């Protein structure tokens, strides 16, 4: 039996086993990765021989021979990344191991302290050392009587050469382990840190099923393990599969666009630090743009350490065993996601300091890239963007075409228009001296600003049959009988792999792996989207929105877990039943491994964070725009009540929503009032006060 106590952040494993002679033994193990001391982990094991007496052999080790073999299709790739630097012992209780990553030469040191107890009293068995290359352990044999308990406590300190305020990783680890408390104390402090985090992050949903709140909090738990308050000071990005698995090899993609909204409203310091991860790699993105013949910064679709493009160029189709070219590097929309994230963080926090020092520069360079990529088409008097890919990875090129890429992906084009507008806003909003500095340092000319403005008004957006067209030529693709494929193959999430294994290609069909056009309805409120389209000279009303949503909802097979959350969101006010079912499926993504075998390759952090964000922003209708925090609650029929806290412009606000009322309580003192928007009216919420709004 395994129990995860999320409130206190501890995993307990209980095993009862018997050998062939009928000797029964109980084992209980508790483990934690400290949320209080970021360099400590602990493992406490208790063994009780139920009906026998004898000797128990314990081996407590540090194993640096680990290899990355969790993802079956990567197994033939190089998967050993560590080399031993040294290993040894120190005193009776300590062993240590230091390794170095073979390519990046980062040193990692672990020092372990193992203590043994009989019926809770310390004992000192003789220890012998076991050494192999990349491995060190201590072995001990302990006599034990029926019913007695043998306790083994192992605490490990971990440091790497990238840690700050250390002399060297091994010295750091050894010093820390010598100072470390015992498991009980470590656990107490760790649990207190988790309890404090939950005070800010907990979400309560009174819904038709009890497990919904629990699943949401599990998702928050995973998120806070991956991007914790301890990562604020580190140079780390947010990997799509958390730190739990090896899929995508830990590379950083666009999934943060699904993750930051939750963090912005709860722990904005974490978003800020994750945005700085991007900022530190801006120079590399500038170089990539220059190499490709563009201006500004072209961020990579998949990247790690130094921000170079590391996206694969070949992809293994596990259904056919064939390697096929992979063009996903053309998903240039990643830069637009970064721009969106910069702006959203700024809207929620009002952090002008960040905008002045980093945010505006990123927006400007991303805007520049797109302004140089967009081509003016005189015949239609509009700007076009050719040869890229949208979020829907089923369409890499036109059927039969030699080259990869499609033209005028609606999502990308609209996001470009929006980004250019925000880059202009950001420059305008900077305090005068920063404004001057930025223009001077980045050589921003008036003509350039005028060009951005023009592109943002004259961007081309394709339409067909009165709905937004996913890209130019999409309307000429063939329909695919998805139901027939559903009958033939029980799981059609990855129709691309099925079609390719049959010698066909998804490029030919009107089918989508994941939300593409619909991302627009996910990222923007209908008001903002209508404004955006009207600025470009297009109409976007409820009717077009509804028809566009229905059209793509029917043709999407959710090959990415990100897709369901987007659909659940955009359908929430339109088809409540479908939306709710998609939300429940998204909630089960990893709990039930709904893709049939991807969860052990790592959790799906984007989907996890987004399910929480659906409850938080979509059901509560929260939108941070300009100086106002708007609310427009719309609870699903299955949800009675919601309660959670958010942080907005230094205010901690308790949000309570039921069928009739929206209640906001400011839990903060000594800050300026904030503006709350509801049904077109703006009211102030002063520190320490409450607002009650009638939803009927």
List contacts with ligand BGC (CB under 6 A): 240, 248, 253-255, 391, 393, 514, 560, 562, 606
- Report in angstroms how near the CB of residue 111 gets to ligand BGC at its nearest: 35
Choice between 248 and 580, CB closer to ligand BGC: 248
Strands 628-631 and 674-678: parallel
- Report in angstroms how near the CB of residue 239 gets to ligand BGC at its nearest: 9
Whether 393 is catalytic: yes
- Report in angstroms how near the CB of residue 338 gets to ligand BGC at its nearest: 13
Query: Dihedral through CA 299, CA 304, CA 306, CA 311, nearest 10?
Result: -50
Choice between 152 and 223, CB closer to ligand BGC: 223
Choice between 326 and 623, CB closer to ligand BGC: 326
Spatial distance between the Cα atoms of 674 and 655, rounded to a whole number of angstroms: 14
- Report in angstroms how near the CB of residue 581 gets to ligand BGC at its nearest: 21
Burial of 128 (0-12, 13-18, 19+ CB in 10 A): exposed
Choice between 374 and 557, CB closer to ligand BGC: 557
Choice between 25 and 560, CB closer to ligand BGC: 560
Choice between 449 and 562, CB closer to ligand BGC: 562
CA within 13 Å, CB half, 676 = 24
Spatial distance between the Cα atoms of 300 and 237, rounded to a whole number of angstroms: 13
Q: With beta carbons less than 8 A apart as the criterion, state whether 285 and 307 touch.
A: yes
Token pair 């950083």: residue: 252
- Report in angstroms how near the CB of residue 559 gets to ligand BGC at its nearest: 6
Spatial distance between the Cα atoms of 470 and 90, rounded to a whole number of angstroms: 63
- Report in angstroms how near the CB of residue 561 gets to ligand BGC at its nearest: 7
Catalytic residue among 331, 361, 393, 396: 393
Choice between 176 and 393, CB closer to ligand BGC: 393
- Report in angstroms how near the CB of residue 379 gets to ligand BGC at its nearest: 33
- Report in angstroms how near the CB of residue 135 gets to ligand BGC at its nearest: 33
Distances (CA, A) of 116 to 17, 48, 96, 152, 175: 21, 13, 18, 5, 21
- Report in angstroms how near the CB of residue 404 gets to ligand BGC at its nearest: 16
Spatial distance between the Cα atoms of 348 and 647, rounded to a whole number of angstroms: 8
In terms of C-beta distances under 8 Å and separation of at least 24 residues, what long-range contacts does 572-581 make, across chains too? 572/614, 572/618, 572/619, 572/634, 572/636, 573/634, 574/546, 574/549, 576/636, 576/637, 578/553, 579/636, 580/636, 580/637, 580/638
Choice between 604 and 649, CB closer to ligand BGC: 604
Quickly list H helices, 430-575. Answer: 432-441, 446-458, 482-488, 495-501, 519-523, 526-535, 542-554, 561-570
- Report in angstroms how near the CB of residue 494 gets to ligand BGC at its nearest: 9
Task: Give the other-Cβ count within 10 Å of 454's Cβ.
Answer: 14
Nearest to 377 by CA among 335, 408, 343, 342: 408
Closest-CB residue for ligand BGC? 240
- Report in angstroms how near the CB of residue 61 gets to ligand BGC at its nearest: 34
Q: Tell me the helix, strand and coil percentages in the chain, rounded to 5.
A: 35, 25, 35
Burial of 105 (0-12, 13-18, 19+ CB in 10 A): exposed
Choice between 494 and 651, CB closer to ligand BGC: 494
DSSP three-state, residue 98: strand
Q: With beta carbons less than 8 A apart as the criterion, state whether 678 and 631 touch.
A: yes
Choice between 236 and 352, CB closer to ligand BGC: 236
Q: With beta carbons less than 8 A apart as the criterion, state whether 304 and 251 touch.
A: yes
DSSP three-state, residue 238: coil
β-strand partners of 115: 153
Q: With beta carbons less than 8 A apart as the criterion, state whether 94 and 103 touch.
A: no
DSSP string, 479-519: P--HHHHHHHSS--TTHHHHHHHTT--GGGBS-BSS-STTH
CA 40 to mean position of chain CA atoms? 24
What tokens were used for 355? 């905008």
Task: Give the other-Cβ count within 10 Å of 559's Cβ.
Answer: 22
Choice between 361 and 396, CB closer to ligand BGC: 396
What tokens were used for 493? 């999430």
What tokens were used for 555? 């043709």
Strands 150-160 and 40-49: antiparallel
Spatial distance between the Cα atoms of 362 and 355, rounded to a whole number of angstroms: 9
Choice between 492 and 562, CB closer to ligand BGC: 562
Nearest to 103 by CA among 70, 75, 81: 81
Task: Give the other-Cβ count within 10 Å of 408's Cβ.
Answer: 24
- Report in angstroms how near the CB of residue 529 gets to ligand BGC at its nearest: 21
- Active site (catalytic) residues: 393
């Amino acid at each position: 039996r395994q129990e995860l106590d999320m409130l206190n952040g501890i995993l307990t494993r209980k095993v009862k086993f018997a050998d062939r002679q009928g000797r029964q033994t109980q084992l209980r193990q508790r483990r934690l990765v400290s949320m209080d001391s970021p360099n400590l982990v602990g493992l406490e094991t208790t063994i009780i021989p139920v009906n026998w007496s004898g000797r128990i052999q314990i081996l407590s080790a540090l194993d640096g021979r680990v290899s990355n073999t969790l993802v079956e299709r990567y197994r033939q790739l190089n998967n050993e990344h560590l080399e031993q630097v040294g290993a040894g012992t120190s005193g009776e209780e300590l062993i240590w191991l230091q390794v170095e990553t073979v390519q990046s030469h980062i040193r990692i040191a672990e020092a372990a302290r193992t203590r043994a107890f009989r019926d809770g009293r310390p004992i000192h068995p003789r220890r012998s050392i076991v050494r192999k290359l990349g491995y060190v352990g201590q072995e001990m044999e302990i006599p034990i009587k029926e019913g007695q308990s043998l306790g083994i406590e192992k605490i490990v300190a971990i440091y790497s050469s990238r840690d700050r305020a250390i002399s060297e990783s091994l010295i750091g680890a050894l010093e820390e382990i010598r100072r470390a408390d015992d498991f009980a104390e470590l656990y107490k402090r760790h649990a207190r840190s988790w309890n404090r985090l939950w005070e800010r992050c907990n979400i309560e949903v009174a819904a038709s099923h009890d497990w919904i709140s629990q699943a949401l909090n599990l998702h928050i738990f995973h998120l806070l393990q991956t991007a914790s308050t301890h990562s604020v000071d580190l140079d780390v990005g947010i990997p799509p599969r958390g730190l739990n698995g090896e899929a995508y090899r830990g590379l950083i993609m666009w999934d943060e666009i699904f993750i930051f909204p939750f963090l912005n409203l709860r722990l904005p310091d974490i978003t800020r630090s994750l945005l700085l991860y991007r900022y530190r790699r801006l120079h590399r993105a500038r170089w990539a743009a220059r190499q490709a013949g563009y201006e500004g910064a072209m961020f990579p679709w998949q990247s790690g350490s130094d921000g170079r493009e590391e996206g694969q160029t070949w992809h293994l189709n596990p259904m056919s065993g064939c390697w096929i070219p992979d063009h996903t590097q053309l998903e240039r929309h990643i830069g637009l996601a970064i721009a969106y994230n910069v702006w959203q963080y700024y809207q929620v926090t009002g952090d002008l300091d960040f905008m002045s020092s980093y945010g505006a520069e990123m927006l400007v360079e991303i805007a520049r890239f797109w302004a140089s990529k967009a081509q003016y088409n005189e015949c239609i008097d509009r700007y076009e963007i050719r040869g890229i890919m949208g979020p829907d990875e089923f369409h890499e090129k036109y059927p039969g075409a030699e080259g990869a890429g499609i033209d005028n992906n609606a999502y990308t084009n609209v996001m470009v228009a929006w980004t250019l507008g925000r880059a202009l806003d950001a420059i305008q909003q900077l305090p005068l001296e920063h404004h001057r500095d930025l223009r001077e340092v980045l050589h921003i000319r008036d003509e350039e600003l005028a060009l951005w403005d023009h592109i943002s008004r004259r961007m081309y957006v394709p339409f067909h049959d009165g709905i937004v067209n996913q890209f130019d030529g999409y309307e000429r693709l063939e329909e695919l009988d998805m139901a027939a494929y559903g009958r033939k193959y029980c799981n059609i999430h990855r129709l691309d792999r099925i079609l390719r294994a049959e010698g066909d290609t998804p490029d030919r069909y009107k089918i989508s792996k994941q939300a593409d056009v619909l991302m627009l309805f996910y990222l923007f409120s209908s008001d903002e989207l209508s404004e955006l389209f009207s600025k470009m000279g297009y109409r976007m009303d409820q009717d077009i929105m509804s028809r566009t949503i229905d059209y793509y909802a029917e043709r999407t097979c959710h090959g990415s877990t990100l897709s369901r959350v987007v659909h659940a969101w955009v359908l929430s006010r339109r088809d409540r039943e479908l939306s709710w079912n998609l939300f429940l499926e998204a909630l089960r993504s990893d709990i039930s491994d709904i893709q049939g075998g991807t969860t052990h390759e790592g959790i799906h952090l984007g989907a996890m964070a987004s399910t929480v964000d659906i409850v938080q922003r979509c059901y509560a209708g929260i939108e941070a725009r300009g100086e106002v925090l708007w609310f427009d609650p719309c609870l699903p029929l299955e949800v009675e009540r919601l309660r959670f806290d958010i942080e907005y412009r230094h205010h901690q606000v308790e949000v309570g929503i039921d069928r009739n009322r929206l209640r906001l309580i400011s839990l903060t003192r000594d800050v300026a009032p904030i503006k709350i928007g509801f049904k077109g009216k703006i009211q102030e919420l002063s520190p320490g006060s409450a607002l009650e709004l009638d939803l009927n």
